[in-house]
Chains A and B, each alone.
Chain A
C-alpha cells in the first residue's frame, strides 16, 4: 500500500538566511534549463536578466516552490521548497508576467480577497484589508468592476495588490512590466521601489534595475554574471552583442 509521506514539521523560518540555492539544476524532459546554481540571496533588491529561454522564468519559479528542482535544494529562510512548499508560498509572493493568468475572480475586490480567504482570514478583516490595498494602489473606485474591463496597467496593479494583501515576507516578480507601456512600467517600478519586502525581479527592462543591490545574468541555464547593477548590465549587453 502506498503511503503519503508525512512532511516534517516546519522549522522556524530564519529571515537572515535569505534565499539559498545549493547545487540546483532543473530538467524538463530532456531539456536542461538550469545547471549548477549555487547562490545565497540576502539583498533587499535582486534583479535577474537573461535572453528568452535562458532559464530565468524557471529560476523565478524555484524561489517560491512553484517549481521544485530536479537536483539540489532551494531554501527560503531556511525552509526547503521541496518539503515545505506551503510555508514557502506563504512567505514568498509571486507576480506573473500576464496578469490575466493570475486574476481568478470576476471582480476586482473579490480577486484581491482570494489569497486572504486561502489564509483563513475572517470576512470582516478581509474586507478591511482588501479596501486598504485597493485604496493604496488607486483601484478603490474599481472595487466592484469586472476585472476583464480594466486596462493592462490596472490589471497588473490588481495582480500585485492580490499578492501584497497577503503580506508576504518576500516577493518574486516574473517580467512584471513586459506587457506594459512606459507609464505603467514606471508605476510598477515605483511600486517595487517602495516595498518594504525583499524583492527578486526577473525583467527585460534594464532601467528597472538602477537602484538594485545585486543583478544576476542568466545564460544557457547558468548564472554567468553576478554583480552590482552597472557592471552586471554591462556584462549582459556584451554577452548579447556577440550573438
Chain B
C-alpha cells in the first residue's frame, strides 16, 4: 500500500535526504513546466533506472506503487481522449507516474527520521511565528506510520461486514465503512495521544 523504507546498502540510500528531496522538487517543476511527452517519458525512465540500479530496489516496490495509481492514470488518459486529445492524456499520465515513482524511490531509500530532520530544518524559520518544527516533523512521521494501520482497520471493518452478508463495494458500502472507521480512528487517536504523553512528547 505504501512504499516504505527498503533497507539496502546503495548509493541512493547514502545520498543525504535533503538532496533527494531537492531533486524531487526540481523534477516536479521541470516535468510540469515542460509538458511534452519526451520530457515526461525521459523522467519516468530515469526514475525507474535510478531506483533499480542506483537504489538497488526490487522491481516489485515500483510495480506496486505504479499499480496503486494505475486507475488514475487510465482515468486521466480517458478524460483527455474525450476532452482534448490522446497525446495530452498520455503525457499527463506519464508525468503523474514519473512523479509518483520518484516519490516512492525517495521514501524507499530514505529513513523517515532523515526525512523528518529535513522537514524540521526547512520549517525552522516558522519558529519566528510560534510554530514548533519538531511537531511538524512528528506529524509527518506519524502520518507515514498510521496510513497502513488505518488501511488495515478499514479492511477489518469490511471483513466484518462481508462476514455478515454486507456489500463490500459501491457507494452504500463506502458510507457503511466510513462511520465505523471514523469511530475506530478517533478512539485510536485518543490512545495515541496518551502514548505520546507517556513517552515524554512535549505536548504542553
Interface residues of A (CB under 8 A from B): 61, 64, 66, 86, 89-90, 93-94, 96, 98, 100-107, 110-111, 113-115, 118-119, 144-148, 162-163, 166
Q: Give every chain A residue within 8 A of B201 (Cβ-Cβ).
A: 118
Contact B145 A96 (CB under 8 A): no
Q: Give every chain A residue within 8 A of B84 (Cβ-Cβ).
A: none
Q: Give every chain B residue within 8 A of A148 (Cβ-Cβ).
A: 145, 148-149, 152
Q: Give every chain A residue within 8 A of B152 (Cβ-Cβ).
A: 148
Q: A107-B111, A113-B113, A148-B152 are in contact. Are A102 and B198 (CB under 8 A)?
A: yes
Contact B200 A119 (CB under 8 A): yes
Contact A106 B4 (CB under 8 A): yes
CB<8 Å pairs between A and B, sample of 8: A100-B188, A105-B142, A106-B112, A115-B200, A118-B201, A145-B7, A163-B199, A166-B199
Report the interface size class on chain B: 20 to 34
B176-204 CB mask vs A (1 if < 8 Å, else 0) is 00000000000010011011111111101
Q: Give every chain A residue within 8 A of B4 (Cβ-Cβ).
A: 106-107, 146
The interface centre, meaning the residue of A107, A113, A145 with most chain B CB atoms within 10 A of its CB, is A107
Closest to B115 in A: A106
Q: Give every chain A residue within 8 A of B188 (Cβ-Cβ).
A: 100-101
Contact A93 B195 (CB under 8 A): no
Q: A107-B5, A148-B148 are in contact. Are A102 and B202 (CB under 8 A)?
A: no
A89 to B194, CA, bound (A): 11
Contact B200 A104 (CB under 8 A): no
Closest to B191 in A: A101
Contact B200 A102 (CB under 8 A): no
Q: A110-B112, A144-B7 are in contact. Are A103 and B145 (CB under 8 A)?
A: yes
Closest to B196 in A: A104
The interface centre, meaning the residue of B4, B141, B152, B198 with most chain A CB atoms within 10 A of its CB, is B198
Nearest Cβ in chain A — how far from B195, in angstroms? 4
Q: Give every chain A residue within 8 A of B141 (Cβ-Cβ).
A: 104-106, 110
A111 to B149, CA, bound (A): 15
Q: Give every chain A residue within 8 A of B199 (Cβ-Cβ).
A: 102, 104, 114-115, 118, 162-163, 166
Closest to A107 in B: B5
Contact A147 B200 (CB under 8 A): no
A73 to B144, CA, bound (A): 39
Contact A146 B148 (CB under 8 A): yes
Q: A106-B4, A106-B145, A110-B112 are in contact. Are A118 and B200 (CB under 8 A)?
A: yes
